[in-house]
């Protein structure tokens, strides 16, 4: 497979930034709560959102409530698409979020019982649930089949991710990028989407469709990204260079 080049630095005057969280801004950990959010993440978000006002977004499978918990105080000027785009919050428009459905309550109860029985880690989120099999990779096929069955039964969406499967309300990161690009602060900007996981592929495709590019943060694989960075430290270094350039241009 041909490797992708590292991304050039975009023009900070016209670029918008869409940043995945786990595996992109923070290193993956054994459990969802086990991540360490380095101080530099808050610093970079503050610098970039000040120098590129209204043009920095987090786009994550985490709920916005979870992201607030990890990044308290750092998101005032950052647009956030949480729950894989099912909920959004911008400084100008506030928090737009669907209600939890009865179907989700039933699905969550069934999957929590299944996780308990199988010894899997169950993560309850605002608009969905995640079954984590990082500690039991041998249960992957069974957990995915269970999640897909429950999602189909209750008319919900199932998606795979790194060592996990989720059942949730609909939404995808590509639609989130398109929606945020319609907001006044981001209209007409050139989107750059950085992400590591399978659901980030929709974000890469949307960025490319809108004249920008995706940046894969993972070893080489089949992808709709145009560029690649090796991992979280390389993302931090690239964002720091962009913040320097944006501050000089401001």
Bridge partners of 167, per DSSP, are 129, 158
Q: Residues 157, 160, 162, 178: which binds ligand L263DTV3 (CB under 6 A)?
A: 162
Distance (Å, whole) CA 40 – CA 79: 19
Among the listed residues 3, 20, 172, 197, the single catalytic one is 20
Residues in contact with ligand L263DTV3, counted by CB under 6 A, come to a total of: 24
Which span (43-51, 158-166, 204-212, 235-243) binds ligand L263DTV3, by CB under 6 A?
Answer: 158-166
Is 202 an annotated catalytic residue? no
Distance (Å, whole) CA 147 – CA 175: 23
Distance (Å, whole) CA 213 – CA 205: 8
Instruction: Return phi, psi of residue 167, to 5°.
Output: -125, 130
Which span (70-78, 106-114, 159-167, 237-245) binds ligand L263DTV3, by CB under 6 A?
Answer: 159-167
Task: Please say whether the dihedral angle defined by the alpha carbons of residues 28, 156, 99 and 88, taken in this order, is positive or negative.
Answer: positive
Residues in the chain: 250
Q: Is 85 in the site for ligand L263DTV3 (CB under 6 A)?
A: no
The C-alpha angle with vertex 43 and arms to 8 and 245, in degrees rounded to 5, equals 35
Q: Is 29 in the site for ligand L263DTV3 (CB under 6 A)?
A: yes
- Within 8 A by CB and 6+ apart from 72, the residues are none
One character per residue 111-130, x = contact with ligand L263DTV3 (rule: CB under 6 A): ------------x-x----x
Cβ distance to ligand L263DTV3 smaller for residue 18 or 21:
21
Which span (18-26, 107-115, 183-191, 233-241) binds ligand L263DTV3, by CB under 6 A?
Answer: 18-26
Cβ distance to ligand L263DTV3 smaller for residue 211 or 221:
221
One character per residue 194-213, x = contact with ligand L263DTV3 (rule: CB under 6 A): ---x----------------
Please give the sequence-ordered ranges of beta strands (E in DSSP) within the chain, or none if there are none: 15-19, 56-59, 79-82, 87-90, 94-96, 121-125, 128-132, 157-161, 164-168, 190-195, 213-217, 227-229
Q: Is 37 in the site for ligand L263DTV3 (CB under 6 A)?
A: no
Binding residues (CB under 6 A) for ligand L263DTV3: these are 20-23, 28-32, 35, 60-62, 123, 125, 130, 132, 134, 161-164, 166, 197
Which residues participate in catalysis according to the annotation? 20
């Amino acid at each position: 497979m041909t490797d992708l080049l590292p991304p050039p630095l975009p023009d900070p005057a016209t670029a918008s930034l869409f940043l995945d969280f786990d595996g992109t801004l923070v290193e993956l950990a054994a459990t969802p709560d086990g991540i360490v959010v380095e101080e530099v993440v808050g610093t970079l978000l503050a610098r970039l959102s000040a120098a590129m006002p209204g043009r920095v977004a987090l786009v994550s499978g985490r709920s916005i409530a979870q992201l607030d918990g990890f990044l308290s105080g750092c998101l005032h000027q950052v647009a956030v698409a949480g729950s894989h785009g099912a909920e959004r919050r911008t400084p100008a428009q506030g928090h737009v979020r669907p209600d939890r459905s009865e179907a989700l309550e039933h699905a969550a109860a069934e999957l929590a019982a299944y996780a308990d029985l199988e010894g899997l880690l169950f993560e309850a989120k605002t608009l969905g649930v995640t079954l984590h099999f990082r500690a039991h990779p041998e249960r992957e096929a069974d957990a995915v089949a269970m999640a897909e069955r429950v999602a189909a039964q209750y008319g919900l969406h199932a998606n795979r991710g790194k060592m996990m499967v989720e059942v949730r309300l609909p939404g995808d990161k590509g639609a989130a990028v398109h929606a945020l690009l319609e907001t006044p602060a981001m209209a007409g900007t050139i989107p750059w989407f950085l992400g590591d996981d399978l659901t980030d592929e929709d974000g890469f495709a949307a960025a490319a469709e809108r004249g920008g590019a995706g940046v894969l943060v993972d070893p080489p694989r089949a992808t709709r990204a145009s560029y690649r960075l090796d991992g979280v430290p390389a993302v931090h270094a690239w964002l720091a260079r962009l913040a320097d350039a944006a501050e000089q241009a401001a």
